Amino acid sequence: MINVGHYQTRCVILSTPQPPRVVSMPLFIEILTIVLPVFLVIALGYLLKRLGLIDQAFLFQTNRLVYYICLPLLLFYKIGSADFFANFNPTLVAASVAGITLMFALAYAYAALRRYPPKACGVFAQGAFRGNLAYMGLAITLNAYGEAGFTRAGILMGFLVPVLNFYAILALLWPQRHQDGRRGAAFWVKQIAGNPLILASFAGIFWSYFALPMPVILERSLNIATGMTLPLALIAIGGSFSLEKLRGDLFRAGLSTGLKLIGLPLITAVLLQSLGVTGLDLGIGVLMAGAPAATANYIMAHQLKGDAELSGSIVMMSTLLSAASYTGALYLLRTMGI
């Protein structure tokens, strides 16, 4: 004998629509474990500066040490000891370069159409496409994808740094070409070819491409020396952080920041997917594209007579907001299984 009431109840239960899938707590915690450690070390640098344990002279020397010694050694070591053909994806490089080129053109065209002053025009465009790949991009990629992701990101960076430097110089000097004609070809060559990150990246690529052996003594020495690179870099970012630098035209700074943190990663993601790049390489391309504006942007703007105040605002604003933008990007990547 069938219990009709029980049968109907079971049918109702089975046919009840299920609620939409929500973000699981483990996924949220996983994203936090990727993003928070990087920004906590940055916060440590800020705290050390506030407590007077480090000062501006220390930060200046630390930045020089990281930029000229530590980071070049790290890039050479990680790239040189890797299997080049297993980690190099030319489509990833091409799509990333195309995304940077497109954002440079869009940002510069917008600033020109809005008739920004020459000193602000280039700074606005530079803030929209030139990110802190070395300090922030590599750190987030390492946390997200481990050593394999770091190595691939390092090789990608080796090809992107010359492009970023060239466009940065072009963006800053072209609006002022009628005001200062003293910058000759030698200046441009020195800025691009003499960059220590470019030299180290290409040295590592050369070593990896020809599968040259890494002597044990050299490898162990590099392993010890390069361990300080990312912590020092993040502490330097935190120590240099100051809300007092958020001044001037904050609308322009905010728009440039939005283009950098949201626009460039979206453009890069579309280009990568349209060219068939998926998985780890897609994640690396998006995370590197989403790096906040580099501190070097401010330094270069000051040296090349750009609007240094605007550049400082873009650097500070994008660094602060990148915690949220990276969290969002990683959530989207993780929901895609990347």
pLDDT tens profile 230-279? 899 889 888 888 777 777 678 999 999 999 999 999 999 999 999 999 99
Which residue range is the domain that position 203 belongs to? Answer: 25-335
Say how far apart CA 311 and CA 299 lie, in whole Å. 9
Tokens of residue 34, six digits: 């990727």
Total-model pTM:
0.82
Share of the chain above pLDDT 90, in %: 47
Nearest CA to 155 out of 237, 79, 234 is that of 79
Say how far apart CA 173 and CA 181 lie, in whole Å. 9
| Mean pLDDT lowest among 37-41, 95-99, 199-203, 286-290 | 199-203
Could you report the per-residue pLDDT of 113-172, keeping only the tens digit for each?
999 998 899 999 999 999 999 889 999 999 999 988 998 998 998 889 888 888 988 888
Q: State how many domains the chain has.
A: 1
pLDDT on residue 323: 93
| More confident call, 220 vs 200 | 220
User: 170 lies in a domain?
Assistant: yes
- Amino acid letter, 182: R
Query: Looking at the predicted structure, is the pLDDT value of residue 206 above 60?
Result: yes
pLDDT, average across residues 17-36? 70
User: 19 lies in a domain?
Assistant: no
Query: Looking at the predicted structure, is the pLDDT value of residue 109 above 70?
Result: yes
For 260, residues 6+ apart whose C-beta sits below 8 A from its C-beta are 127, 128, 129, 131, 292, 293, 314, 318
Q: What is the CATH number of the domain that holds 124?
A: 1.20.1530
pLDDT, average across residues 69-82? 87
pLDDT on residue 220: 94
User: 14 lies in a domain?
Assistant: no
User: 8 lies in a domain?
Assistant: no
Could you report the per-residue pLDDT of 79-92, keeping only the tens digit for each?
888 888 888 999 99
| More confident call, 69 vs 177 | 69
> In a 3-state reduction of DSSP, which class is residue 131?
strand
For 160, residues 6+ apart whose C-beta sits below 8 A from its C-beta are 93, 96, 97, 100, 133, 288
pLDDT on residue 191: 64
User: 88 lies in a domain?
Assistant: yes
User: 289 lies in a domain?
Assistant: yes
DSSP annotation of 245: G
pLDDT on residue 15: 42
For 296, half-sphere exposure in the C-beta direction (CA atoms, 13 angstrom radius) is: 23
User: 313 lies in a domain?
Assistant: yes
- 11: exposed, middle or buried (C-beta count within 10 Å: 0-12, 13-18, 19+)? exposed
User: 10 lies in a domain?
Assistant: no
